[in-house]
């Protein structure tokens, strides 16, 4: 097959990168595959691994300040209990719960309504589970 031969030749010549090496910071640590948030509203179970891999959502779509090669920061490093100033940014970072609700609910709502595809919960009690 002509295409196949071309591919092999390209690989041999080093023109094609076959297996790009993924920097460690582009992978989710084992103990962060599922993240649970416990607060007075109940427990939110966030399947991090599933969101990032199976559903092929880009890391930076959530880790929006992340620069390639740098370690990933926690949202709560910048998004505090109250909206606050973060060094290096001219705009104030919204408070933690607003950042999460905008991000999590926002995408679920968009996916359901605009893309008409299945998404995660948009209702309080379906995300914040009380036992
Ligand atoms: C749908 C949103 C979303 C996507 C996509 C996502 N993450 Fe996360 N990630 C989070 C949230 C939320 C946390 C918890 C942050 C916190 O505790 O403040 C987190 C935490 C982390 C942490 C732990 C940080 C710490 O110090 O505790 C790492 C590392 C991480 N993510 C890496 C990744 C990588 C790599 C990808 C892409 C393969 C990715 N994430 C994709 C939302 C996401
Ligand atoms: C290094 C600091 C930093 C980190 C880490 C960070 N943010 Fe932010 N975030 C900001 C700042 C500053 C703003 C306001 C300026 C802007 O919109 O870029 C912001 C804005 C946002 C907004 C827009 C809010 C709105 O009302 O439109 C959302 C949503 C958000 N962050 C979610 C997250 C989530 C979720 C994480 C973790 C996965 C995260 N952020 C991590 C600094 C940070
Ligand atoms: C960029 C889009 C996007 C963002 C951001 C996002 N989600 Fe999702 N979420 C989805 C999609 C798509 C599904 C998949 C629905 C399906 O296939 O059944 C989903 C499913 C879920 C589910 C259903 C259970 C599961 O994991 O299978 C929960 C709970 C959930 N998300 C919580 C969260 C939380 C908490 C956050 C914020 C930290 C978040 N999501 C951010 C797109 C998103
Ligand atoms: C897609 C999932 C999701 C939905 C839907 C959702 N939340 Fe949340 N909520 C979160 C996450 C994630 C956090 C951040 C939790 C943390 O940092 O402990 C949060 C934080 C909060 C907090 C702050 C708790 C604290 O102690 O700081 C309150 C209050 C809250 N949510 C109420 C609500 C209400 C009311 C609704 C419905 C109108 C709602 N949430 C819908 C995921 C969700």
Which CATH number is 123's domain given? Answer: 3.90.10.10
Q: Is the pLDDT of residue 127 over 50?
A: yes
Among 24, 49, 55, 74, say which to mutate for ligand 1: greatest number of ligand atoms within 8 Å of CB. 74
| Residue 37 alpha carbon, nearest atom of ligand 3 | 35
pLDDT at 18: 45
Give the pLDDT mean for 2-26: 50
4 belongs to a structural domain = no
93 belongs to a structural domain = yes
Planar angle of CA 74, 60, 108, nearest 5 degrees: 90
The bridge status of strand 35-39 relative to strand 42-46 is antiparallel
Under the banding of pLDDT at 50, 70 and 90, the label for residue 4 is low
Give the residue whose CA is nearest to atom 27 of ligand 2.
102
19 belongs to a structural domain = no
Number of structural domains in the chain: 1
Q: Is the pLDDT of residue 9 over 70?
A: no
15 belongs to a structural domain = no
88 belongs to a structural domain = yes
82 belongs to a structural domain = yes
| Residue 45 alpha carbon, nearest atom of ligand 3 | 29
51 belongs to a structural domain = yes
Q: Model pTM?
A: 0.90
Q: Is the pLDDT of residue 114 over 50?
A: yes
Give the pLDDT mean for 87-113: 96
Tell me: the pLDDT tens digits for 50-81?
Answer: 998 777 788 999 999 999 889 999 999 999 99
For residue 12, how far is its CA from the centre of ligand 1 (angstroms)? 37
13 belongs to a structural domain = no
Six token digits for residue 126: 């379906």
Alpha helices per DSSP H over 25-119: 48-49, 59-62, 96-100, 106-113
Range(s) of the domain holding residue 41: 24-127
């Amino acid at each position: 097959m002509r295409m196949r031969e071309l591919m092999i030749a390209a690989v041999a010549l080093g023109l094609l990168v076959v297996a790009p090496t993924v920097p460690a910071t582009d992978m989710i640590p084992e103990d962060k595959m599922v993240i649970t948030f416990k607060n007075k509203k109940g427990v939110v179970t966030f399947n991090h691994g599933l969101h990032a891999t199976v559903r092929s959502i880009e890391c930076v779509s959530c880790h929006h300040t992340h620069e390639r090669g740098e370690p990933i920061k926690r949202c709560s490093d910048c998004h505090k209990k109250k909206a606050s100033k973060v060094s290096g940014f001219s705009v104030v970072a919204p408070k933690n719960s607003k950042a999460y609700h905008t991000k999590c609910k926002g995408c679920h709502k968009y996916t359901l309504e605009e893309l008409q595809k299945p998404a995660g919960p948009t209702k309080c009690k379906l995300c914040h589970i009380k036992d």
